[in-house]
Amino acid sequence: MAKNPTVSPVAALVRQHDNARFVTAVFAPEHRREDLFALYAFNYELAKVRENVREPTMGRIRLQWWRDTIAEIAAGQSPRQHEVAEPLARTIRAHRLSRAALERMIGARERDLLPDPPATFAELEDYADATAGTLNMLALQALDVRDGKGAAATAARHVGIGYALAGLLRATGFHARFGRSFIPAELDPGRHALGSRATDALRDAAATIANAARVRLDKARVLSDEAPETAMPVLLSAVLAQRWLAQIENADYDLFAARVTRPDPWRSVRLFFAARRGRI
């Protein structure tokens, strides 16, 4: 697929920069994949803002650009000429995606521009919900799964939060290189996550967050039995998060250990069998 000349630019973007979500989207019906790729590319555009600016003000300007873009799309105007904005506009209009949800994702990324970590775990979990949780809800809409607060929606939200928490733990070493931390201050008052080695305090903090992620994924697993099969491409990210958490646990919660970010050679197989049995 890497050399497939027909792959769309937005799909290629997701494949390169958010490969985990790319492989889950492949399990969606072919006529829905581009919609998922557009959403996941939008999420990437928001997530990369912090890494691409030197000053928070510039980051806020970039996020405002996306707010204005969403507002224009909602008003029926032609989308801005941008490799993500144009396919995103088509997806929004085709599935009547929630403008409030899209704007919540943008607003949550203001958190990335702050110099300090979240103050509390509740704040971190809210961030996870506003980013990955909201993204999953929009992805369900793009798959025409609209059950309000039913099993699919609730499971997708739990999966999003668990996935985000696991992903942030996994990225601790990367963030530390740039002087950033997402480990809440109440769990890591000594800012050990900004170092380069695991301390007992940081291991404890990692275990606390990992356990909270497992609780979310366990709740999603129970609910997935009641969710329609069409929701599975969104729920499948739970399989990836579970593996990440297992790697972290096997590293004795040393977030700087190489095994924490080691690629899973069985990833596609795990996803295939989960999708086949319709259960995460």
In this structure, the answer to whether residues 109 and 159 fall within a common structural domain is no
Mark whether 130 and 25 lie in a shared domain: no
Whether the model pTM is above 0.85: yes
Looking at residue 6, its pLDDT comes to: 75
The CA distance from 147 to 2, in Å, is 35
In the chain, the percentage of residues whose pLDDT exceeds 70 is 98
The pLDDT of residue 246: 98
Looking at per-residue pLDDT, the higher value among 81 and 149 belongs to: 81
Of 48, 82, 114, at which residue does a domain stop?
A: 114
* Residue ending a domain, choose from 79, 114, 149: 114
Enumerate long-range contacts of 85-91, CB under 8 Å, 24 or more apart: 87/8, 87/10, 87/34, 87/37, 87/38, 87/41, 88/38, 88/39, 88/41, 88/42, 90/38, 91/34, 91/35, 91/38, 91/39, 91/142
Q: How many C-beta atoms lie closer than 10 Å to residue 101's C-beta? A: 15
Residue 54: per-residue pLDDT: 87
Residues 89 and 126 in one domain: no
Helix H or strand E encompassing 140: helix 134-142
Clarify whether residues 45 and 6 are in a common domain: yes
* pLDDT mean over 246-270: 96
Where is 91: in which H helix or E strand?
helix 85-95
Among residues 114, 129, 154, the one where a domain terminates is 114
Say which CATH number the domain at 166 has: 1.10.600.10
**pLDDT tens per residue, range 141-184:** 999 998 777 999 999 999 999 999 999 999 999 999 999 999 99
Range in 21-25, 107-111, 144-148, 181-185 with the lowest mean pLDDT:
144-148
* Domain count across the chain: 2
108 and 119 belong to one structural domain: no
Helices (H) and strands (E) in the chain, counts: 15, 0
- 93 lies in which domain range? 1-114
pLDDT of residue 146: 84
Q: Does residue 3 have a pLDDT over 50?
A: no
Summary mean pLDDT of the chain: 95
Q: Is the pLDDT of residue 4 over 50?
A: no
- The answer to whether residues 206 and 176 belong to one domain is yes
Residues 20 and 129 in one domain: no
| 161 plus 259 within the same structural domain | yes
Kindly state the average pLDDT of the residues 260-277: 94
Is the domain of 74 the same as that of 138?
no
- Residues 38-79 pLDDT 10s: 999 999 999 999 989 989 999 999 999 999 999 999 999 998
Claim to verify: residue 173 and residue 145 sit in the same structural domain:
yes
pLDDT of the residue at 147: 77
Residue range 193-231, pLDDT digits in tens: 999 899 999 999 999 999 999 999 999 999 999 999 999
Q: Are residues 132 and 38 in the same domain?
A: no
Q: What is the pLDDT of residue 149?
A: 75
